[in-house]
Amino acid sequence: MTVLDDIIVGVREDLESRRAQVPLAEIKRLAAEAPAARDAYAALGGNDSPRAALKVIAEVKRKSPSKGELASIADPAELGAAYERGGAAVISVLTEQRRFNGSLADFDAVRAVVDLPLLRKDFNVEEYQIFEARAHGADLVLLIVAALDDTDLKALLALTHELGMNALVETHTAEEIDRAVAVGARIIGVNVRNLKTLDVDRSLFAELAGRIPAGAVVVAESGVRSVADVRDYASQGANAVLVGEALVTMGDPEATVAEFGAAGSEAVAARR
């Protein structure tokens, strides 16, 4: 069993517990009553042509399977507010419990204080989770191509759009990018971390990003440790970077978001 397979087993078990407390019919009602979703595609520059700035997706991340504990994050709301002050375009909040020590409570805390689009970062494999995300005020959800067959990927993406949200469709290989494009993904992430082994290979980004068609927002995921990494991704075609570990461990998340955004935007301008 791969790391991804093992994570999804736990995700499904935890989902059953939540579904027992809040049935699908109720979560659908709550999703329908939630305020309209913010436009994450536009926030990430999807309507801009050519895109003149690199956008930062700043992540509230306590723990990871590869590094273990990263930060205790006593106040996720304050961290989210710092990201907003630093100029983040979107804030990502991990809600997976077992491997990332995340929760919907963290998501709710951030949602209560920021006005930016929020990504509910989890291993979404069933429609319940998409309705649940919308019920909690999510504007963007994660769909991992490696975790879904084509039928489920298409159905969950369609449901996401029906609910007014966008999806970050995460890929790791050329074949997965082709599958994402085929179902109409508009925000495509290239994750250079192999979710089966957790190894990181930053060189994959340049190779894979070129397969993504114009019009889609290209997001670089994993491996961002410094300004130099941000510049590299921006110069290789990234429209946005998703950063978690560096922001929660470097001591000044507001300043780091601003620094990453400025450095990436300079690199975007240089490649035009």
Active site residue 121: yes
Catalytic residue among 63, 96, 121, 259: 121
Helices (H), the chain: 3-21, 24-33, 40-43, 76-86, 104-111, 127-135, 150-162, 174-182, 204-209, 227-235, 245-249, 253-271
Catalytic residue among 55, 61, 245, 265: 61
Contacts of 196 (CB under 8 A, 6+ apart): 2, 3, 4
Catalytic residue among 101, 124, 166, 222: 222
Active site residue 69: no
Catalytic residue among 96, 176, 221, 254: 221
Active site residue 78: no
Residue 50: cis peptide before it, omega within 30 degrees of 0 = yes
Strands 118-121 and 140-144: parallel
Helix, strand or coil, per DSSP, at residue 159: helix
For residue 199, give the amino acid letter. D
Active site residue 207: no
Catalytic residue among 64, 92, 101, 191: 191
Task: Give me the sign of the Cα torsion angle 161, 163, 165, 168.
Answer: negative
In 3D space, the residue among 79, 163, 72 whose CA is nearest the CA of residue 114 turns out to be: 79
Label residues 182-207 b or e (16+ Cβ within 10 Å = b): ebebbbbbbbbbbbeeeeeebebbbe
Active site residue 222: yes
**Which residues participate in catalysis according to the annotation?**
59, 61, 121, 170, 191, 221-222
